[in-house]
Amino acid sequence: MPKRYSYAALIAMTNNFKDKLGQGGFGSVYKGQLYTGFLILVKMLENSKFSVEEFINEVSTIGRIHHVNVVQLVGFCFEDSKRALVYEYMPNGSLDKHIFSKGDETQSFSWEKIHEIALGIARGIEYLHGGCDVCILHFDIKPHNILLDHNFTPKIADFGLAKFYPKENDFVTISVARGTIGYIAPELISRSFGAISNKSDVYSFGMLLLEMVGGRRNSDIYADRSSKAYFPSWAYDQINKGGDLELWSVTEIEANIARKLCIIGLWCIQVKAPDRPSMIKVMEMLEGTINNLQMPPKPFFSSSQHNSIGVVQSNLQRMVLGCESILEECSYNDSV
């Protein structure tokens, strides 16, 4: 079970919150150390309205989650208005720093390693969905929430956090605040796209997978050729016409890994949730060969579908980068 820490203990463990690693949607995170020398990460939760009983209930649920591809909760703090979660520290940081790096100090992975990492992430998500005694939907799968241990084994972070924020009447408000544009499934933006389910995480996983293959953010308004501005759309067209993914100095085996990951990602980002595979199916596809994979239907909205896009746009009006290019590139043929 996770251990309860006082706020004074958090101050001591983080050296008075000296080493701030970042700021996410839930609050700030700080690096720290237990008296044993074990490195930790303290996540201070802002604006969580839970009572002590509710908070401890959720913490004990999250604390019972143990999987090699899921970050371990070590402890928590609940004192007056201070609420915090204490996790094991991951020395190789989050995946975004590696896949979006431009050959600087961070390591870029071999295609075998990218495949292995993808499979690890899929296993972690599948465990959260069905492998443990509670079903945890993540709602915020993205490269920043995939951490890497000393062996570069991927670990999913920030699962179960949506639960610390009681549902408001307007689901859109809470989902947009919790999810991240570029990864968030259409049904989390507007219910007119269907029901929210574990397939919403499959969608985010697909976007993540495509970013791992592209080695870049899916939406890049500075991409050298405009057809490449939205990577999933460009990759779909390339594979569909039998072209390649324009990878430099790769063997045929490596090119096939990349193509396989792309096809799986394109299945995962189907607009209609029932068309997306389950995480178990995703794992099967990752473990199988490319010859067993069929090309999915084109997974985007159609720019002629103004009604459905209008719904998305109105809900996303305050969101900037990436969104417009996604909506422009989209071609979704069924009416919603």
Ligand X SMILES: Nc1ncnc2c1ncn2[C@@H]1O[C@H](COP(=O)(O)OP(=O)(O)OP(=O)(O)O)[C@@H](O)[C@H]1O
Pairing of β 154-156 and β 146-148: antiparallel
User: Shortest Cβ distance from residue 155 to ligand X (Å)?
Assistant: 8
Residue 329 binds ligand X (CB under 6 A): no
Residue 89 binds ligand X (CB under 6 A): yes
φ/ψ (deg, to 5) at 16: 60, 45
**Number of residues located near ligand X, criterion CB under 6 A:** 21
User: Shortest Cβ distance from residue 179 to ligand X (Å)?
Assistant: 8
- Contacts to Mg ion from residues 156-185, by CB under 5 A: 158
The region of 46-54, 155-163, 177-185, 305-313 touching Mg ion under the rule CB under 5 A is 155-163
Please count the other Cβ atoms lying within 10 Å of the Cβ belonging to residue 332: 22
- Contacts to ligand X from residues 175-204, by CB under 6 A: 180
Long-range contacts of 25-32 (CB under 8 A, 24+ apart): 25/140, 25/177, 25/178, 25/180, 26/158, 26/161, 26/164, 31/89, 32/86, 32/89
Q: Rounded to whole angstroms, how far apart are CA atoms 100 and 211?
A: 8
Residue 145 binds Mg ion (CB under 5 A): yes
Q: Rounded to whole angstroms, how far apart are CA atoms 101 and 265?
A: 21
Among the listed residues 4, 7, 17, 24, the single contact to Mg ion using CB under 5 A: 24
Q: Quick one: how far is CA 55 from the chain centroid?
A: 24
The region of 25-33, 115-123, 277-285, 291-299 touching ligand X under the rule CB under 6 A is 25-33
Q: Rounded to whole angstroms, how far apart are CA atoms 215 and 208?
A: 10
Question: Active site includes 140?
Answer: yes
What is the number of the residue whose Cβ is closest to ligand X? 24
Tokens of 25: 């949607």
Could you say which of 96, 140, 149, 201 is catalytic?
140
The region of 49-57, 112-120, 137-145, 230-238 touching ligand X under the rule CB under 6 A is 137-145
Give the footprint of ligand X on this chain (CB under 6 A).
21-26, 29, 41, 71, 87, 89-90, 93-94, 140, 144-145, 147, 157-158, 180
